[in-house]
Amino acid sequence: MVTFAAAPALEFKSKSVNMASIHVHSSNLVKLKSDLKQKIEQSPMLFKNAPVILDFGNIEDCLFDVNELLKLCHQLAIYPVAIQNATEELQIKFLNIGIPRLNSNTTKKENISEKVITTSVRSGQQLYFDCPVTIIGDVKAGAEILSDYSIHIYGTLYGKAMAGIQSNDNAQIFMQACQAELISIGKRYLIAQDHQQLIYNYQIRIKSFNGELKVMKL
């Protein structure tokens, strides 16, 4: 009689996954909730029901209740799956509620390579990149491009472009023409209904300068 070994019920595989991280700058839960709600309103498709990493590298006093912080995130439909750059005390608190520490060197990149998209971005699409990105084509109305770094669009921006979303004020946005719904760099943004200057029929460069966004003709 020939016998067959039973197939394994599971197997482990290594996989690299792009995931947004939230850099916590304050232990004030009221302010955290307010700022987080504002960020979600700018880009609801990116954060709704999304797994995220909580990064505590920019805060010295971690005095908040981690259970309350987790509850706050869940109320906004954001689900932390790991933390990084946290104190040992904070790591233990999060591990006790089932959220492990992510080794910093697992996410650090020696060289940040640029991503190139060779087609237009369609309405309803939302693309996030943890590197500089170049779009060869248009970004249609209702589409969103998000990057931790700079964005280059060899076409017309009709939708939304958000650069430096991890508070990187050195990021810039370049495009051939603009009829945008929203443009943001870091924490600063321009919305079409409030700023008629978001319509440009020539090449422009947008950067953060002296606390506001500056639009320059190329």
Tokens standing for residue 108: 């650090």
pLDDT at position 106: 44
* Residues 73-86: tens digit of each pLDDT: 999 999 999 998 88
Q: Which long-range contacts (CB under 8 A, 24 or more apart) does 39-47 make?
A: 40/76, 40/78, 42/162, 42/182, 42/184, 42/189, 43/126, 43/144, 43/146, 43/160, 43/162, 43/165, 45/126, 45/144, 46/20, 46/126, 46/128, 46/144, 46/146, 47/20, 47/76, 47/77, 47/78
pTM of the model: 0.57
Query: pLDDT by residue (tens digit) across 87-132?
Result: 888 888 899 999 998 875 444 444 568 899 999 999 999 999 989 9
Top CATH class, 115-217: mainly beta
Which of 85, 87, 86, 82 is closest to 99 using CA atoms?
82
183, containing H or E segment: strand 182-185
Where in the sequence of the chain do the CATH 3.30.70.260 domains occur?
21-106
Domain with CATH 2.160.20.70 in the chain: 115-217
The yes/no answer on whether domain 21-106 falls in CATH 3.30.10.20 is: no
pLDDT in tens, 156-199: 999 999 999 887 888 999 999 999 999 999 878 888 765 555 78
